[in-house]
């Protein structure tokens, strides 16, 4: 992805020969293990945000397409669209793209050009109509207040409505120089309150797809243990599979133990989400706890 963005900035055509093997690899991984790559959204670094954001949105789009039971060709198209949705940012002024703070009104108008820039760039590439639509319309809102064309409701193409959800979720759960990442639970709760922004059916499928407590979330259990979420239970999204590893009562680590809360028969449950940094677990999602 870094190569694609660099080549585009230098005026070269978007290369689908570089892009499609990555789409195939990500799609195959998500289909094989639906929750593995969606956690890539929690494993990004400050450098190369746009590149990693593109990979994360690709994974989220693929997982959401699977949840919506779209056909195999459309699943891969969704992945490709997620990967290329922000390609227009390769033409954005770097002082605007990388500004460590809120954009001025003038700068925001510059930033709002990137969907049309992306659409134009992809015109010369061997991509589907769905990929083009996502590049152009991923900032549209269902109430018609989005950009660039103020489309509303079903006038926004399906893949673009999906991309709107995946794009925002990954953006708000990412650390940026000017803001700290939101915890996934806060992100989902906030996004659910933006009724005019997202397609309700697609957002509900997204929540079901990644779970109320996404993989990697630190939670406090009723048993006064801390645990990290390992996997989802499709029939009980509020009762995921977790790994207990720390006692808040003794303030000491305990022997890690995997617990399926759906099968716990009420013996334990999640009472709230915890901030890993508050417990000095800043790299919680990047260590052995996520290995079951």
pLDDT in tens, 83-100: 889 989 888 888 898 888
Q: Are 228 and 210 in contact (CB under 8 A)?
A: no
More confident residue, 29 or 15: 29
Tell me: pLDDT of 200 over 90: yes
Q: Is the dihedral of CA 255, 276, 36, 189 positive or negative?
A: positive
Query: Does CATH number 3.40.50.300 belong to domain 2-210?
Result: no
pLDDT in tens, 218-274: 999 999 999 999 888 877 888 999 999 999 999 999 999 999 999 987 789 999 999
**Residue 24 structure tokens:** 């195939």
Average pLDDT, the chain: 85
Q: What is the pLDDT of residue 179?
A: 80
Q: What average pLDDT does range 106-115 have in this prediction?
A: 96
Q: What average pLDDT does range 183-212 have in this prediction?
A: 91
* pLDDT bucket at 48, cuts 50 / 70 / 90: low
Task: Using alpha carbons, list the distances in angstroms from residue 174 to 14, 184, 185, 223.
Answer: 26, 10, 13, 30
Q: What predicted TM-score, i.e. pTM, was given to this entire model?
A: 0.80
Q: Are 60 and 211 in contact (CB under 8 A)?
A: no
Specify the long-range contacts of residues 223-227, CB closer than 8 Å, at least 24 apart.
Answer: 223/267, 223/268, 224/248, 224/249, 225/254, 225/268, 226/274, 226/279, 227/259
* pLDDT bucket at 20, cuts 50 / 70 / 90: confident
Q: What is the pLDDT of residue 232?
A: 86
Return d(Cα 146, Cα 94) in angstroms, integer.
Answer: 23
Show me where the domains of the chain are located: 2-210, 218-290
Specify the long-range contacts of residues 251-259, CB closer than 8 Å, at least 24 apart.
Answer: 254/225, 256/289, 258/230, 258/292, 259/227
Q: What is the pLDDT of residue 47?
A: 41
**Residue 25 structure tokens:** 């690899």
Residue with tokens 């009723």: 222
From 3-7, 46-50, 108-112, 186-190, the region with the lowest mean pLDDT: 46-50
Residue with tokens 């997620």: 82
Q: What average pLDDT does range 285-289 have in this prediction?
A: 55
More confident residue, 271 or 48: 271
| Longest alpha-carbon distance in the chain | 62
Tell me: pLDDT of 44 over 70: no
Helices 49-67 and 158-172, axial angle in degrees (round to 10): 130
Q: In what order do the strands lie in the sheet with 252-260?
A: 252-260, 241-247, 225-231, 218-221, 270-273
């Amino acid at each position: 992805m870094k190569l694609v963005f660099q080549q585009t900035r230098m005026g070269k055509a978007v290369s689908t020969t570089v892009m499609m093997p990555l789409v195939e690899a990500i799609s195959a991984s998500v289909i094989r293990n639906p929750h593995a790559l969606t956690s890539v959204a929690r494993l990004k670094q400050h450098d190369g945000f746009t590149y990693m954001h593109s990979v994360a949105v690709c994974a989220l789009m693929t997982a959401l397409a699977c949840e919506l039971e779209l056909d195999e060709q459309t699943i891969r198209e969704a992945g490709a669209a997620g990967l290329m949705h922000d390609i227009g940012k390769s033409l954005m002024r770097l002082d605007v793209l990388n500004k460590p703070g809120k954009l001025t009104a003038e700068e925001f108008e510059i930033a709002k050009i990137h969907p049309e820039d992306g659409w134009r760039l992809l015109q010369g590439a061997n991509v589907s109509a769905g990929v083009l639509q996502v590049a152009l319309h991923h900032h549209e809102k269902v109430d018609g207040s989005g950009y660039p064309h103020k489309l509303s409701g079903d006038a926004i193409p399906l893949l673009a409505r999906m991309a709107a959800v995946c794009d925002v979720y990954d953006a708000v759960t990412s650390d940026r120089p000017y803001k700290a990442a939101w915890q996934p639970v806060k992100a989902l709760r906030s996004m659910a309150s933006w009724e005019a922004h997202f397609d309700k059916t697609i957002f509900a499928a997204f929540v079901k797809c990644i779970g109320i407590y996404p993989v990697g979330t630190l939670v406090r259990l009723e048993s006064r243990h801390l645990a990290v979420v390992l996997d989802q239970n499709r029939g009980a999204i509020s009762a995921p599979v977790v790994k207990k590893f720390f006692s808040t009562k003794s303030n000491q680590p305990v022997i890690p133990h995997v617990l399926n809360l759906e099968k716990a028969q009420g013996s334990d449950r999640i009472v709230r989400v915890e901030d890993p940094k508050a417990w000095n677990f800043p790299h919680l999602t990047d260590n052995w706890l996520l290995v079951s």
